[in-house]
């Protein structure tokens, strides 16, 4: 009951259920067949538990609600709307599309960061090996000369001794404690709000967060409205998909404003954190009665913007990482070679 499904498993499971329900199978039979198709026993067990609740007379949405970690509020609400409208298969297909799109975006972000992080990791490993194994041997050679070493070499030796001694472990432990304290500090809502506000103001990364969050918010609203969920309920659910506390707080104020009679476009504009194009397209959708479609267009536009920003970020990160690590290795090599170039002083 407490199992959380990964995005890939949820997307495949939803697609299977959509196909089975759309083919005319009763929900309980569709759940049985879907359970048999699962490779992971835990997912099969989860589906069979949902099926048993459906057989007892509960709706599919009610049965899914018993597993909130696997099926969130948005999933439950869309299934409920699909059951009420009689288009459960179509709604499940839209849910599968949404899960697939979310997973695709997440993979793009991860893949974009793989190369710079791998390059940084390998470079740091090389530097650490130089510090621990190469530099100490050279220290012995240089110290026999009894002459003063260049400042850069002395600094390198000091760093190497730090790495070779137990102080490196102490520093690592202190760093871990600081990280844990920071995480504890961020558990406080006001502190997390300040941190998330700072993230939004960061160059490039702030834009990445905004585009990603707004794309998810718009896509969630679009499919909820398209599935027959009332606007206020859809806003309440879509607000929960936002991870950034500043944007979530702004979306909460939008929900309150709409409940008090404001239009969605006006409420978004008043929030001052949502992209102007998003506000304009939502207002246009409300005016011509195509809010769901316009929100879908907004989501697609935000995803394209996110891809462009990711490309720009990676294009900047790669050369910066290479320059940083190249400069670091160059300094180490200079520190090693300077005394060798000056070897005549040691004779």
Tell me what pLDDT residue 204 has.
Answer: 80
Tell me what pLDDT residue 145 has.
Answer: 62
315 band by pLDDT with thresholds 50, 70 and 90 = confident
Q: How many CB atoms lie within 10 A of CB 320?
A: 11
Tell me what pLDDT residue 171 has.
Answer: 79
Cα 191 to Cα 239: distance, rounded to the nearest angstrom: 20
Q: Work out whether the CA dihedral 255, 260, 266, 271 comes out positive or negative.
A: negative
Cα 28 to Cα 330: distance, rounded to the nearest angstrom: 66
Location of structure tokens 């504009």: 269
Residues 191-247: tens digit of each pLDDT: 888 999 999 998 888 888 898 889 889 988 888 888 788 899 889 888 988 889 999
Location of structure tokens 């500090």: 185
312 band by pLDDT with thresholds 50, 70 and 90 = confident
Tell me what pLDDT residue 257 has.
Answer: 95
Location of structure tokens 């103001």: 201
CATH superfamily of domain region 96-119+173-347? Type II secretion system (T2SS), domain F (1.20.81.30)
Tell me what pLDDT residue 335 has.
Answer: 83
Location of structure tokens 């407490």: 2
Taking each helix axis as running N to C, give the angle between helix 88-129 and helix 291-341, from 0 to 180 degrees, rounded to the nearest 10: 10
Half-sphere exposure of 15 (CA within 13 A, CB side): 14
Percent of the chain with pLDDT over 70: 94
- Please state the pTM of the whole predicted model: 0.72
Residues 106-128: tens digit of each pLDDT: 787 777 778 778 888 888 888 87
Contact between 289 and 264 under an 8 Å Cβ cutoff? The reply is: no
Give span(s): CATH 1.20.81.30, the chain: 7-71, 96-119+173-347
258 band by pLDDT with thresholds 50, 70 and 90 = very high
Q: Tell me which CATH code domain 7-71 carries.
A: 1.20.81.30
């Amino acid at each position: 009951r407490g199992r959380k499904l990964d995005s890939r498993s949820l997307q495949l499971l939803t697609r299977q259920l959509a196909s089975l329900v759309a083919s005319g199978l009763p929900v309980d039979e569709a759940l049985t067949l879907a359970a048999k198709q699962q490779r992971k026993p835990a997912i099969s067990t989860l589906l069979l538990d949902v099926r048993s609740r459906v057989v007892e007379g509960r709706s599919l949405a009610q049965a899914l609600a018993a597993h909130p970690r696997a099926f969130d509020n948005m999933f439950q609400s869309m299934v409920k709307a699909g059951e009420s409208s009689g288009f459960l298969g179509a709604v499940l297909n839209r849910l599968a599309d949404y899960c697939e799109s979310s997973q695709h975006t997440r993979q793009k972000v991860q893949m974009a960061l793989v190369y710079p992080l791998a390059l940084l990791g390998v470079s740091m490993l090389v530097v650490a090996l130089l510090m621990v194994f190469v530099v100490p041997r050279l220290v012995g050679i240089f110290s026999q000369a009894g002459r003063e070493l260049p400042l850069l070499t002395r600094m390198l030796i000091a760093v190497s001794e730090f790495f070779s001694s137990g102080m490196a472990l102490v520093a690592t432990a202190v760093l871990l404690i600081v990280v844990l304290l920071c995480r504890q500090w961020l558990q406080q809502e006001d502190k997390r709000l300040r941190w998330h506000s700072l993230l939004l103001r960061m160059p490039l990364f702030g834009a990445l967060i905004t585009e990603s969050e707004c794309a998810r918010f718009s896509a969630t609203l679009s499919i909820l409205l398209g599935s027959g969920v009332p606007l206020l309920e859809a806003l309440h659910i879509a607000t929960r998909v936002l991870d950034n506390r500043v944007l979530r707080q702004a979306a909460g104020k939008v929900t309150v404003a709409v409940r008090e009679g404001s239009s969605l476009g006006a409420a978004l504009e008043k929030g001052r954190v949502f992209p102007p194009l998003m506000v304009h397209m939502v207002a246009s959708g409300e005016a011509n009665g195509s809010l769901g479609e316009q929100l879908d267009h907004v989501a697609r536009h935000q995803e394209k913007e996110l891809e462009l920003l990711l490309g720009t970020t990676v294009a900047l990160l790669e050369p910066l990482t290479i320059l940083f690590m190249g400069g670091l290795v160059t300094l180490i090599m200079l520190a090693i070679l300077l005394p060798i170039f000056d070897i005549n002083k040691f004779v």
